[in-house]
């Protein structure tokens, strides 16, 4: 057996790969979206879409994995989060006026991305990114050869409140002038509070600590809770997507990975929507996985990567 000293070094999750490129892509209205690209593209081209409150740095490990497999991986930060600026005076509030703005950004960004090269194409999207990808596809965005949605935000947990009441409260708060205010507080002052948040995201304390490290190193990419308007938009957009008949007409091979005990998004809604999409395959993890499947402990993370790689090998050719 190899000794620890003889094993190959693990990927440094707290450093940008030396051969990647960070720049900015401009939306039609001039808004700059921070973009990252890595990989030679010998296998094909991949667009990675992250979730609410995320930043590119959280996904450098999986970006590196797919770049090593020959994908030219492109990732970007959504308008208003990560390194793509803010939409309110509070830099820690995750806000958007209308989810339609993100759909417009994705449509335009993906159109430019498709023009960058030829060969197989894939989209991999996490959480809110999964919702936006499926909504954009349902609304007519040109599909890739294959798509993957990881813990997609197809339904939002509002417990203990029923969804209709949560939407009503969020709508009222917006009407009262609190649309840009944080809908809740994100307490991370103590080890106990950090552990509680970590367990909702991942069972891996080391990868969770990576996120905190990046936020401490670059405070301009840090983001806290969403605004009341984000909550209102998320509840309305997820319901509208679930009711969209176009889901049954999607013509793209789709792999969905979910966690049975996800504390942030609704797995029952994921199951219902997956059953309506003609070319969708669904795998649901048990208690071993939390919301951030691609940032889980290695038994789950490596299994997810193996499933995604096999799916892309079979469908993005």
Structure tokens at 116: 């960058």
Residue 107 CB-density burial (10 A; 0-12 exposed, 13-18 middle, 19+ buried): middle
Q: Can you give the pTM of this predicted structure?
A: 0.95
pLDDT at position 192? 83
How far is CA 154 from its chain centroid? 12
Structure tokens at 91: 């830099």
- The CA-to-CA distance between both ends of the chain, in Å, stands at 37
Q: What is the distance between the alpha carbons of residues 143 and 156, in angstroms, rounded to a whole number?
A: 25
Tokens 């979206």 belong to 33
- How many CB atoms within 10 Å of residue 17? 16
Q: What is the distance between the alpha carbons of residues 257 and 245, in angstroms, rounded to a whole number?
A: 22
pLDDT at position 256? 99
For residue 266, is it left (φ>0), alpha (ψ between -120 and 50) or beta?
beta
Helix (H) or strand (E) holding 207: helix 205-217
pLDDT at position 9? 56
What is the torsion angle, in degrees rounded to the nearest 10, for the CA atoms of residue 170, residue 176, residue 181 and residue 185? -60
DSSP 5: G
Tokens 């989209």 belong to 123
Report how far apart, in Å, the C-alpha atoms of 107 and of each of 10, 126, 139 are: 36, 17, 10
pLDDT at position 193? 84
Residue 170 makes CB contacts below 8 A (sequence gap 6+) with 183, 228, 229, 231, 232, 235
> What does DSSP say about strands 254-259 and 21-26: parallel, antiparallel, or unpaired?
unpaired
Q: Spell out the per-residue pLDDT of the chain, length 317, in tens.
A: 333 433 345 899 999 999 999 999 999 999 999 999 999 999 999 999 999 999 999 999 999 999 999 999 999 999 999 999 999 999 999 999 999 999 999 999 999 999 998 899 999 999 999 999 999 999 999 999 999 999 999 999 988 899 999 999 999 999 999 999 999 887 776 788 888 999 999 999 999 999 999 999 998 999 999 999 999 999 999 999 999 999 999 999 999 999 999 999 999 999 999 999 999 999 999 999 999 999 999 999 999 999 999 999 999 99
pLDDT at position 67? 98
Report how far apart, in Å, the C-alpha atoms of 34 and of each of 21, 79, 112, 231 are: 11, 9, 14, 24
Is residue 266 within 8 A of residue 155, CB to CB? The reply is yes
Please name each of the domains of the chain with its CATH number.
Answer: 19-315 (3.40.50.1820)
Tokens 């395959």 belong to 281
The partner residues of 44 in beta bridges, in order of sequence, read: 71
């Amino acid at each position: 057996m190899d000794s620890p000293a003889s094993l190959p070094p693990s990927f440094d999750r707290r450093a940008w790969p030396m051969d990647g490129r960070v720049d900015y892509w401009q939306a039609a209205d001039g808004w700059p979206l921070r973009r990252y690209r890595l990989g030679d593209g010998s296998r094909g081209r991949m667009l990675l879409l992250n979730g609410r409150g995320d930043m590119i740095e959280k996904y450098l490990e999986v970006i590196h994995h797919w770049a090593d497999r020959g994908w030219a991986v492109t990732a970007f930060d959504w308008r208003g989060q990560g390194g793509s600026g803010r939409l309110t005076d509070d830099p820690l509030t995750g806000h958007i006026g209308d989810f339609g703005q993100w759909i417009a950004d994705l449509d335009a960004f993906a159109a430019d991305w498709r023009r960058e090269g030829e060969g197989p194409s894939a989209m991999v999207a996490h959480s809110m990114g999964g919702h936006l990808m499926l909504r954009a596809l349902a609304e007519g965005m040109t599909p890739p050869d294959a798509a993957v949605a990881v813990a997609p935000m197809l339904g939002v947990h509002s417990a203990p409140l029923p969804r209709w009441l949560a939407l009503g409260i969020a709508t009222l708060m917006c009407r009262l002038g609190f649309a840009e205010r944080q809908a809740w507080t994100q307490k991370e002052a103590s080890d106990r509070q950090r552990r509680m948040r970590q367990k909702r995201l991942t069972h891996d304390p080391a990868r969770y600590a990576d996120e905190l490290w990046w936020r401490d190193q670059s405070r301009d990419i840090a983001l806290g809770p969403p605004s009341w308007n984000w909550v209102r938009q998320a509840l309305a957009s997820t319901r509208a997507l679930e009711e969209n008949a176009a889901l049954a007409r999607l013509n793209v091979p789709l792999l969905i990975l979910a966690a049975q005990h996800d504390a942030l998004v609704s797995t029952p809604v994921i199951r219902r929507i997956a059953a309506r999409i003609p070319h969708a395959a669904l795998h649901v993890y048990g208690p071993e996985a939390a919301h951030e499947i691609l940032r889980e402990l290695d038994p789950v993370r490596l299994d997810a990567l193996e499933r995604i790689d096999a799916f892309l090998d079979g469908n993005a050719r």
